[in-house]
Chain A
């Protein structure tokens, strides 16, 4: 059974960089695309972007200028960075697997979520 676990700081100040990691267990990070999704009360569920295990990425245009996603296949982990955060970036951040090995597929496994609060 594939499991995903997010980790990272829960509290940031405006203008800081949000950094989260997602550890995949119970299966290899290879052969799949991996995604970050966030959920805030104001905007609901928002797809942030995905990365292929070989490193190819695709980002939501709404966040593209501030976001980067990377992968470390040796550690079965992938990562999210969001620069210059504001209070609008306060949300629960989920990592998820895109099913089937294609980028055009649903999210079949999700992490439990990591609450990130941005406050001065």
Chain B
């Protein structure tokens, strides 16, 4: 099973700042089969990024994904008020599919 570790656990930032979220995999995600989701309280996760760097339909270009192998990054440029949420990475490289524990981006 591929274990995903996310850091930091919480990121306190102000609107307009840049957020950099890390996701580390215990084994190589060779095909870049990694996704990022955003979740707000009381809502289901929403797909942001798939294939490590491809934005999902309707996702603003201030969200970007990068990385390969075991190290992946989600960058959110110019944080807007609606971006404060919890972010999860997920690998679908191998079964069982697994999620990271999440990074909470909150308002400083």
A residues sitting closer than 8 Å to B (CB atoms) are: 44-47, 58, 60-62, 94, 98-99, 104-108, 110-113
Complex Cα distance, B90 from A105, in Å, reads: 10
| Of the residues A45, A104, A106, contact of B47 by C-beta under 8 Å | A106
- Contact, CB under 8 Å: A108 / B99: no
Across the interface, A47 reaches (CB within 8 A) one of B46, B96, B102, namely B96
Report A-chain residues with C-beta under 8 Å of the C-beta of B88.
Answer: 44-45
Cα–Cα distance between A99 and B43 once the two chains are bound (Å): 20
Interface size on B, residues (CB 8 A): 24
Which residue, A44, A45, A99, A108, has most C-beta atoms of chain B within 10 A?
A45
A-B contacts counted at CB < 8 A amount to 53
Q: Is B101's CB under 8 angstroms from A94's CB?
A: no
Q: Are B99 and A46 in contact (CB under 8 A)?
A: yes
Judging by beta carbons under 8 Å apart, are A106 and B92 in contact? yes
* Given A44-B88, A94-B45, 4 further pairs, Cβ under 8 A: A44-B99, A45-B45, A98-B92, A107-B35
Main secondary structure of the interface of B (DSSP, over half): loop
Let me know if B47 and A107 touch, CB within 8 A.
yes
B22-59 toward A: CB 8 Å interface, digit per residue (1/0)?
00000000010101010000011111001100001000
Interface check B95, CB cutoff 8 A: yes
Knowing A47-B97, A106-B35, say if A99 contacts B50 (CB, 8 Å): yes
- The answer to whether B44 touches A112, judged by C-beta atoms less than 8 angstroms apart, is yes
What distance in Å separates the Cβ of B76 from its nearest Cβ neighbour in chain A? 19
Query: Can you list 22 A-B contacts (CB < 8 A)?
Result: A44-B100, A44-B101, A45-B90, A46-B99, A47-B97, A58-B95, A60-B95, A60-B96, A61-B96, A94-B44, A98-B92, A104-B33, A106-B33, A106-B92, A107-B45, A107-B90, A108-B47, A108-B50, A110-B45, A110-B46, A111-B44, A113-B44
**How long is the Cα–Cα vector from A46 to B44 in the complex, in angstroms?**
13
The CA of A34 and the CA of B101, in the complex, are separated in Å by: 23
